[in-house]
Amino acid sequence: MSTNTPTDTTIDPATILDTRFKDAIHAAVPDLPIEQIKTLITPSRQPKFGDFQSNCAMPIAKRFKMQPRELAAKIVEHLDVAGVAKPVTESNIAGPGFINVTLLPEAISDSLGAMDNDQLGINPPDAPPTVVVDVCGVNLAKQMHVGHLRSTVIGDAIARLYERMGYKVIRQSHVGDWGLPIAMVVEQLITIEDQGTDLSTLSLADLNAMYKVVQAKCKAETKALELIAKVGGHAKAEIELEERIADANAALEKAKARLVSLQSGDERSVKVWQLIYDITMSACLSTCQRLHANITDEHSAGESTYRDELGPLVQDLIDRKIAEEDDGALIVKCEGIKEPTIIRKRDGGFLYATTDLAAIKRRVSKLGGDIVVYVVDSRQSLHFKQVFAAAHKAGYDKTPAGKDAVLFHAMFGTVLGEDNKPLKSRSGENLNLTDLLDEAVSRASATVAEKNPDMPESERAPIAEAVAMAAVKYADLSTERIKDYVMNFDRMLAFEGDTGPYLLYALVRVQSIFRKAAEQGIDTSNYHTAPFKLVEPSEKALALMLLRYPALIESAGQACEPNRLCSFAYDLASAYGPFYDKCPVLKCQDEALRNSRLRLCDLLGRVLGDALETLGIPTVERM
Residue numbers of the site for ligand ARG (CB under 6 A)? Answer: 134, 137, 139, 174, 176, 356, 359, 374, 376
Please give the residue whose beta carbon sits closest to ligand ARG in the complex.
Answer: 137
| Distance of closest approach, residue 374 Cβ to ligand ARG, in angstroms | 6
Work out the angle at residue 254's Cα, subtended by the Cα atoms of residues 250 and 258, and round it to the nearest 5 degrees.
170
Q: How many CB atoms lie within 10 A of CB 22?
A: 18
507 vs 466: CA distance, rounded Å: 14
| Distance of closest approach, residue 278 Cβ to ligand ARG, in angstroms | 18
Contacts of 298 (CB under 8 A, 6+ apart): none
Nearer to ligand ARG, 356 or 554 (CB): 356
Nearer to ligand ARG, 137 or 618 (CB): 137
Q: How many CB atoms lie within 10 A of CB 271?
A: 13
Q: How many CB atoms lie within 10 A of CB 598?
A: 23
Nearer to ligand ARG, 150 or 460 (CB): 150
602 vs 605: CA distance, rounded Å: 5
427 vs 269: CA distance, rounded Å: 33
| Distance of closest approach, residue 147 Cβ to ligand ARG, in angstroms | 7
Residues 149, 373: contact at Cβ < 8 Å? no
Where is 73: in which H helix or E strand?
helix 68-78
Cα four-point dihedral sign 581, 583, 588, 594 = negative
Nearer to ligand ARG, 132 or 444 (CB): 132
Work out the angle at residue 552's Cα, subtended by the Cα atoms of residues 551 and 553, and round it to the nearest 5 degrees.
95
Nearer to ligand ARG, 359 or 475 (CB): 359
| Distance of closest approach, residue 381 Cβ to ligand ARG, in angstroms | 12
Residue type, 231: V
Work out the angle at residue 22's Cα, subtended by the Cα atoms of residues 17 and 28, and round it to the nearest 5 degrees.
125
| Distance of closest approach, residue 441 Cβ to ligand ARG, in angstroms | 25
| Distance of closest approach, residue 308 Cβ to ligand ARG, in angstroms | 18
| Distance of closest approach, residue 136 Cβ to ligand ARG, in angstroms | 8
270 vs 482: CA distance, rounded Å: 39
The four Cα atoms 453, 455, 459, 464 give a dihedral, to 10 degrees, of -20
| Distance of closest approach, residue 172 Cβ to ligand ARG, in angstroms | 8
Nearer to ligand ARG, 374 or 408 (CB): 374
Q: Please tell me what DSSP assigns to residue 364.
A: I
| Distance of closest approach, residue 259 Cβ to ligand ARG, in angstroms | 18
Residue type, 596: S
| Distance of closest approach, residue 176 Cβ to ligand ARG, in angstroms | 4
Q: What is the CA radius of gyration of the chain?
A: 30
Where is 101: in which H helix or E strand?
strand 98-101
Nearer to ligand ARG, 171 or 564 (CB): 171
Residue type, 312: P
Nearer to ligand ARG, 115 or 144 (CB): 144
Nearer to ligand ARG, 291 or 492 (CB): 291
